[in-house]
C-alpha cells in the first residue's frame, strides 16, 4: 500500500526533514497534502518538487497566489485556504498519515482532527499535547489513531518501549542545555534573539529554538511525556547531556535501563514514524561515538538560571488549565522576545505572572482549555506591555 502523507507545517524545519525522508521512498509513500501558514512562495516551490494532490495556505489572503502559481506550474494540485480546509483534509481520504508540524497552539485543531479520524499521527506539535493532552489522547485512543511522537526524546522512549505506549517505571529526557548552558542568571539578562536561536546541536524553527534556550522546551516535553506515556510527572527526570546523542532513557521495574542513541537529526524520528514497525532509511548516518568525541556527559539542569523548567513541572502538578496557561503565556512571551520587545528573562517572568493571575481550574472540555489559552494570552500581553523595551 502506498502511504499518503499530509504534512501540516510543510515549509518548516520538521516539514523539510519529513519531505526529505519521504522522497527517499517513492515506491512506498508520497506527500499527498502540503500545508503552510503564510509563506506561499515556499509552498509553491515544494509543490513543484513533490506534486501533492492538495496544497493549503492557512492565511486566506494568499489563496489566489497559490491557485494561480499552481496553475502556472502546470500542476494538478488543488489549492485551498484557511484553517477549516486544513482540518478537513487532515481528516479526509486524501491521507492515511498526518505529520502534525505546525508550531504552537495553532496546530491543535488539525492535530485533533487527524486524531479523531484515526490516522497514523506523527505528532511534532508538542504544544497541542501541553494544551489539551488528556482530550487529545482520549480522542486518539477512541478512534484508533496510532500516535508516533516526533520529538527526539519521546520518539526515543517510543523506540525503547518497542513501539507500545505502555507505562515504564521512569523516563529520563535529555536536554542539550541550549546555547546558554553554564551561564548565570545575570549574564542571561542581555542575550539577543540571534544568540538565543543559535542552537548548538539542533537546527530548528525560531520558537522551539528560544524554548530550548530557556529550557521551557524541556518543560513542555515533561508534560508531553506525561500524556503520551501516561506516567506521573514525578517519574519523569531531566538530565542535561551536552552531546545530544542519548535522546532518552527508560527505567523498568527490574533495574534495567534502555536508552536510544543517534545523531541529532529529526529525520531519524520521522523515519521511525513513517516506517514503523519497519526500519527505513532516513539519510542519517549511524552514530560513530569515537568521531563524536568519545564522551557522553550528564549533569543536572540549573533551575535558578532557567526557571521555565520548574514553571512547567509546577503547572503539570497543578493540572487543569495550568499547562494551557503556561503554554499560551510562553508563546506570547517568546514572540515578544523574538520581536525585540522584551528581554530574555522577561520570558519566565511573563509566564510566571500569567500563572499567578490565572490559578488552575478544572479542564474537562476543549472550550475551557481554549478559554484558558485566550485569557493567558491577554494576561501575558498586559505583562509584556509593562516590560516592553520598544
Ligand atoms: P518552524 O517554525 O520551522 O515551522 C512551522 C511550520 O508551521 C511552518 O511550515 C509554518 O508555515 C506553519 N505554520 C505556522 N503557523 C501556522 C498556522 N497558523 N497555520 C498553519 N500553518 C502554520 O517550526 P518547527 O521547528 O518545524 O517546529 C514545528 C513543531 O514541531 C513545533 O511544535 C515544535 O515544537 C515541534 N518540534 C520541532 C523540532 C525540530 O527539530 N524543529 C523537534 C521537536 C519538535
Ligand atoms: Mg525534543
Sheet of strand 257-261: strand arrangement: 236-240, 170-175, 246-251, 257-261
Residue 216 lies in a domain: no
**Run of H or E including 133:** helix 126-143
Output the ligand 1 site: residues, CB below 6 A: 9-15, 35-37, 39, 58, 101-103, 106, 124-127, 151, 202, 204-205, 208, 266
pLDDT at 261 over 70: yes
Q: Quick one: which of 107, 126, 18, 125 has its CA closest to 58? A: 107
Contact, 248 vs 154, CB < 8 A?
Answer: yes
Alpha carbon of 309 to ligand 2 centroid (Å) = 13
The pLDDT of residue 388 is 82
Q: Which residues contact 133 (CB under 8 A, 6 or more apart)?
A: 223, 224, 226, 227, 323
User: How many distinct structural domains can be found in the chain?
Assistant: 1
Reported as a pLDDT band with limits 50, 70 and 90, residue 164 is confident
79: pLDDT strictly greater than 70: yes
Residue 282 lies in a domain: no
Looking at the domain assignment, is residue 117 inside a domain?
A: yes
Q: Which cell is 180 given? A: 546558554
Q: Give the residue from 79, 27, 75 showing the smallest Cα distance to 49.
A: 75
How confident is residue 165, by pLDDT bands cut at 50, 70 and 90? Answer: confident
Question: Which cell is 109 given?
Answer: 485543531
Q: Is residue 179 part of a domain?
A: no
Least confident range from 43-47, 163-167, 187-191: namely 163-167
The H or E element spanning position 123 is strand 120-123
Residue at grid coordinates 509546577: 314
How far is it, in rounded angstroms, from Cα 273 to Cα 256? 25
Is 177 within a domain?
Answer: no
* pLDDT band for position 246 (cuts 50, 70, 90): very high
Query: What would the grid cell of residue 337 be?
Result: 522576545
Atom of ligand 1 at shortest range from CA of 220? 34
Nearest protein CA to atom 39 of ligand 1, as residue: 204
Q: Which three cell numbers stand for residue 380?
A: 501575558
Rg value, the chain, Cα = 20
Locus of grid cell 501541553: 130
Tell me whether residue 209 is in a domain.
no
- What average pLDDT does range 336-364 have in this prediction? 97
Q: How far is the CA of 289 from the centre of ligand 2 (A)?
A: 21
* Residue 167 predicted with pLDDT over 90: no
Task: Answer whether residue 220 is part of any domain.
Answer: no
Residue-wise pLDDT tens digits, 184-202: 999 999 999 999 999 888 8
Q: Residue 166: is its pLDDT beyond 90? A: no
Say what the pTM is.
0.98
Residue 40 predicted with pLDDT over 90: yes
Report how far residue 390's alpha carbon sits from residue 384's, in angstroms, rounded to the nearest whole number: 11
How many alpha carbons lie under 13 Å from residue 57 in its C-beta half-sphere? 23
Q: Is 182 exposed, middle or buried (0-12, 13-18, 19+ CB in 10 A)?
A: exposed
pLDDT of residue 364: 85
The rounded distance, in Å, linking the Cα atoms of 356 and 232 is: 23
Helices then strands, counting H and E runs in the chain, come out as 16, 11
- CATH code (residue 21): 3.40.50.720
Q: What is the largest CA-CA distance in the chain?
A: 62
Ligand 1 atom 40: residue of nearest CA = 204
How far does CA 236 lie from the centroid of its chain?
18
Pocket test for ligand 1, best of 6, 8, 10, 13 (most atoms within 8 A of CB): 13
End-to-end CA distance of the chain: 55
Of 8, 17, 50, whose CA–CA distance to 270 is shortest? 17
pLDDT band at 390 (very low <50, low <70, confident <90, very high): low
| Residue with CA at minimum distance from ligand 1 atom 22 | 37
Query: To which residue does cell 484558558 refer?
Result: 372
Grid cell for residue 42: 515556499
Note whether residue 106 is domain-resident: yes
88-116 pLDDT, tens digit each: 999 999 999 999 999 999 999 999 999 99
Contacts of 261 (CB under 8 A, 6+ apart): 245, 246, 247, 287
- The residue whose CB lies within 8 Å of the most ligand 1 atoms, and thus the one to mutate among 18, 21, 86, 101, is 101
Half-sphere exposure at residue 281, Cβ-oriented, CA atoms within 13 angstroms = 7
Helix (H, G, I), strand (E, B) or coil at 231: coil
Residue 60: domain span = 3-150
In DSSP terms, 57 is beta-bridged to 36, 81
Which DSSP state fits 296? -
Residues 6+ apart with CB under 8 A from 382: none
Please tell me whether residue 42 adopts helix, strand or coil conformation.
helix
Amino acid at each position: 500500500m502506498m502511504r499518503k502523507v499530509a504534512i501540516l507545517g510543510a515549509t518548516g524545519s520538521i516539514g523539510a526533514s519529513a519531505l526529505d525522508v519521504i522522497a527517499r521512498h517513492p515506491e512506498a509513500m508520497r506527500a499527498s497534502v502540503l500545508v503552510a501558514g503564510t509563506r506561499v512562495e515556499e509552498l509553491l516551490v515544494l509543490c513543484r518538487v513533490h506534486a501533492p494532490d492538495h496544497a493549503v495556505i492557512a492565511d486566506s489572503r494568499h489563496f489566489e497566489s497559490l491557485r494561480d502559481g499552481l496553475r502556472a506550474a502546470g500542476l494538478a494540485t488543488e489549492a485551498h485556504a484557511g484553517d477549516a480546509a486544513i482540518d478537513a483534509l487532515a481528516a479526509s481520504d486524501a491521507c492515511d498519515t498526518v505529520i502534525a508540524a505546525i508550531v504552537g497552539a495553532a496546530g491543535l485543531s488539525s492535530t485533533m482532527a487527524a486524531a479523531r479520524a484515526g490516522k497514523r499521527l506523527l505528532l511534532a506539535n508538542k504544544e497541542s499535547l501541553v494544551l489539551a493532552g488528556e482530550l487529545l489522547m482520549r480522542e486518539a485512543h477512541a478512534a484508533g489513531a496510532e500516535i508516533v511522537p516526533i520529538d527526539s526524546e519521546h520518539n526515543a522512549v517510543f523506540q525503547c518501549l518497542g513501539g507500545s505506549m505502555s507505562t515504564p517505571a521512569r523516563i529520563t529526557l535529555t536536554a542539550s542545555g541550549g546555547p546558554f548552558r553554564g551561564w548565570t542568571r545575570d549574564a542571561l539578562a542581555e542575550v539577543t534573539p540571534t544568540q538565543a536561536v543559535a542552537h548548538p546541536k539542533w537546527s530548528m524553527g525560531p520558537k522551539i529554538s528560544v524554548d530550548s534556550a530557556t529550557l521551557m522546551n524541556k518543560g513542555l516535553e515533561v508534560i508531553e511525556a506525561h500524556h503520551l506515556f501516561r506516567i506521573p510527572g514525578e517519574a519523569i527526570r531531566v538530565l542535561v547531556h551536552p552531546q545530544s546523542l542519548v535522546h532518552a532513557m527508560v527505567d523498568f521495574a527490574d533495574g534495567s535501563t534502555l536508552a536510544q542513541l543517534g545523531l541529532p537529526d529529526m529525520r531519524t524520528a520521522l523515519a521511525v514514524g513513517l516506517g514503523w514497525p519497519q526500519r527505513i532509511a532516513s539519510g542519517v548516518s549511524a552514530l560513530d561515538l569515537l568521531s563524536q568525541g568519545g564522551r557522553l556527559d550528564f549533569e543536572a539542569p540549573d533551575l535558578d538560571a532557567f526557571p521555565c523548567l520548574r514553571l512547567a513541572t509546577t503547572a503539570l502538578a497543578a493540572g487543569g488549565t495550568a499547562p494551557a496557561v503556561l503554554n499560551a503565556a510562553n508563546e506570547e512571551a517568546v514572540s515578544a522576545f523574538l520581536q525585540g520587545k522584551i528581554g530574555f528573562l522577561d520570558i519566565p517572568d511573563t509566564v510566571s505572572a500569567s500563572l499567578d493571575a490565572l490559578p488552575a481550574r478544572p479542564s474537562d472540555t476543549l472550550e475551557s482549555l481554549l478559554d484558558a489559552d485566550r485569557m493567558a494570552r491577554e494576561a501575558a500581553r498586559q505583562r509584556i506591555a509593562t516590560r516592553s523595551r520598544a
